[in-house]
Amino acid sequence: MTGYNVVLFLHITSVIVMFGCLGADWVAIGGLRSARTAGQAEPWVRTLEVSASIGPWARLAVLGAGLFLAIDAWSWQGWIIVGLAGWVAYVVLGEPLTGRELREVGALVRSADGDLSPVATATLRHPRMWNAVLVRAGLGAGIVFCMVTKPPAPAAAVAVILGAAAGLVAARLTTRPARRIPTTHQAS
């Protein structure tokens, strides 16, 4: 066994963990979108929080091992550069799930008692988180395609862009129209 094999194993294992976190995000966001009470939403918020605590480490391990492999064995071929750019987009799109928005969702759910308010429901069903998770899934599929087939840079770019576009189309096709928050009208 060589150092290359060990790093390749770490790289692939980190990719699996990264996709596991993405899968957890996907399921949790789907669960939040259907939650009507704080009790139904709480486990999904915890799932996102666990994913947010593991995901960044997996993404860093993917990057570190991938950079080592690029320098040690592959040099800077076009598919590697496209894959790295796709990884950056993946990370940027993931931040809404682990950053301010996740804290806001957690606070809304934890402050609710019983049924979720119309504002909390609208926040949990906001399409931005759903769009981000499905676009990341498409990006990830495009990047893995590049890792497996090692195409020239233009073909790699097309694969990653098509993956992201497919994720966005899937998100748009599966996003429920926003419901209006009821307002009360007072007679003058």
Find, among 65, 57, 83, 50, the residue nearest to 5 by Cα: 65
Kindly tell me the sign of the dihedral angle through the C-alpha atoms of 95, 98, 99, 105. positive
Task: Assess whether pLDDT exceeds 90 at residue 152.
Answer: yes
Residue 165 in tokens: 């576009």
Across the chain, mean pLDDT equals: 89
Share of the chain above pLDDT 70, in %: 91
The confidence score (pLDDT) of residue 178 equals 55
The confidence score (pLDDT) of residue 94 equals 82
At position 95, the amino acid (one-letter code) is: E
Task: Assess whether pLDDT exceeds 50 at residue 188.
Answer: no
Domains in the chain: boundaries: 3-173
The confidence score (pLDDT) of residue 64 equals 95
pLDDT digits (tens, 9 = 90+) for 52-88: 899 999 999 999 999 999 988 777 889 999 999 999 9
pLDDT digits (tens, 9 = 90+) for 18-63: 999 999 999 999 999 999 999 999 999 999 999 989 999 999 999 9
Task: Assess whether pLDDT exceeds 60 at residue 155.
Answer: yes
